[in-house]
Chains A and B, each alone.
Chain A
Amino acid sequence: MASLSKAPLLLSAITLSIAAGLALWQSLLAERMHAAKDAYTARLQAQVLPDSGAFIAQRPLDAFSTARDYTQGSVIRSTTPRGYSGEIVLLIGTTPSGHIRALRVLSHRETPGLGDRFARDQGQWYAQFEHHTTATLALSRDGGSIDAMSGATVTSRAIVEQARTALERWHTPIDTHD
């Protein structure tokens, strides 16, 4: 019985010390974790539109940023809930005329090895999006010219359709680039 009465105390002590250790560890690393996340966003942003500034929240669901001199285009950040397993956040760089310069996935929870091949094929899948406008953005099986990642049609369609929606919303006449 002695050991039984001791057990709760011991377990509490172990739990508390682990929790304290983790809290300390997290606070030590918090800055690095944030920096890593920001660096990743910045890296992708530079890939879709070089020299774009910080994001400005402008419309519900979308945030965007523009190149410094406003003549090169914009970066749209757009989120779709229609991924195979949750949200997919896109970064889309556009030209002033409304064409896609480049597209990247910022975050996702798609099936590893299958639905995330856009991030593993050295940019081949992403390259299909370049120069498209809303009129031509669709999967080839939906009558467009973008090939779906094989075995990951849901993911591919979610990305393509969100890209089209984002472009449509961004390039409607109420735009003011200022």
Chain B
Amino acid sequence: MTDSSPSARLWRDNSGTIQLLGLCPMLAVTTSVVDALGLALATLLTLLFSATAVSLLRHALPPETRLVATVMIIAGGVTFIDFALAAYLPDLHRTVGLFVPLIVTNCAILARTESFATRHPPWPALQDAWWTGLGFAWVLLSLGAIRELLGNASLFVGAERLLGESARDWHWQGEQAWVVLAILPPGAFFVLALLVVLQRALSR
């Protein structure tokens, strides 16, 4: 849990596929690549913000209250990002907005800030947050891509919601969805299980 090397955060101890943390947002928003990317960025920002803040306060916080303070700081960071999304990316906010407040309950963030940022200076904590966030992001993006491809026969639909009007034509739309189940809530579990199996197989 205290290994902050990029290889551990991205692959060996990946918070998504290995530790299976943050399942709720991970499974709920990965119905399209664009939504997954939006939530991945919001999660990354939250991680960076809370790791820095908690690390700076680590000497001032007594162990008994550390957890409460950590949750509060994460909740504050998430609300900042939620407001910013509503103001600057309203189209994206309309689709992932429901899940942004849920980032607070993402245990991947709580686990890293609690187990790493509370014990290390800001710079290492920031790096750890960065790699944890990227590790979570690739899992979200893979899930989003596989589910959108199988369940909706498309990729990058709605890119303009995240990247502006010029991205409207970036998406690809096929004829017929192959496995509609993939985009339904149970499909999220199946696709995640596939990813986990795949990663284990590759790690052998």
A, B in one complex:
yes
Residue A177 is within 8 A (CB to CB) of chain B in the complex? no
Q: Once the chains bind, are B86 and A36 in contact (CB under 8 Å)?
A: yes
Interface size on A, as a range, is 20 to 34
A residues in contact with B60, CB < 8 Å: 10
Q: What 4 pairs across the A-B complex have the smallest Cβ distances? A: A113-B31, A3-B62, A36-B90, A18-B76
Chain A residues contacting B94 (CB-CB under 8 Å) are 40, 119
**Cβ of A25: which chain B residues have Cβ within 8 Å of it?**
80, 83-84
Which chain B residue has the least Cβ–Cβ distance from A29? B87
**Any B CB within 8 A of the CB of A32:** yes
Q: Does A46 contact B (CB under 8 A)?
A: no
| Partner-B contacts on A (CB < 8 A) | 3-4, 6-7, 10-11, 14-15, 18, 21-22, 25-26, 29, 32-33, 36-37, 39-40, 109, 111-114, 116, 119-120, 122, 150-151
**If A22-B79, A37-B90, A113-B31 touch, does A4 touch B62 (CB 8 Å cutoff)?**
yes
Contact indicator per residue, chain B 51-89, by CB within 8 Å of chain A (1) or not (0): 000000100111111001100110110011001101110
Residue contact A33 to B87, C-beta cutoff 8 Å: yes
Instruction: Label chain A's interface by main secondary structure.
Output: helix
State the CA gap A32–B87 with chains docked (Å): 5
Question: Are B72 and A18 within 8 A (Cβ)?
Answer: yes
Q: How far is the CA of A40 from the CA of B161 in the complex (A)?
A: 12
Number of chain B residues whose Cβ lies closer than 8 Å to a Cβ of chain A:
42
Find chain A residues with CB under 8 A from B64 CB: 3-4, 7
Please indicate the chain B residues that have their CB under 8 angstroms from the CB of A26 in the complex: 83
Return the contact of A112 from the options B79, B98, B152 (Cβ within 8 A): B98
The answer for the CA separation of A116 and B161 in the assembled complex, in Å, is 15
Point out the residue from A3, A11, A40, A151 that lies within 8 Å of B180, measured CB to CB.
A151
CB pair A29–B90 under 8 Å, yes or no, is: no
Given B76, B88, B90, which contacts A40 in the complex, CB threshold below 8 Å? B90
Closest to B144 in A: A113
Q: Does B115 contact A (CB under 8 A)?
A: no
Give the residues from 19 to 38 in chain B that come closer than 8 angstroms, CB to CB, to chain A. 28-29, 31-32, 35
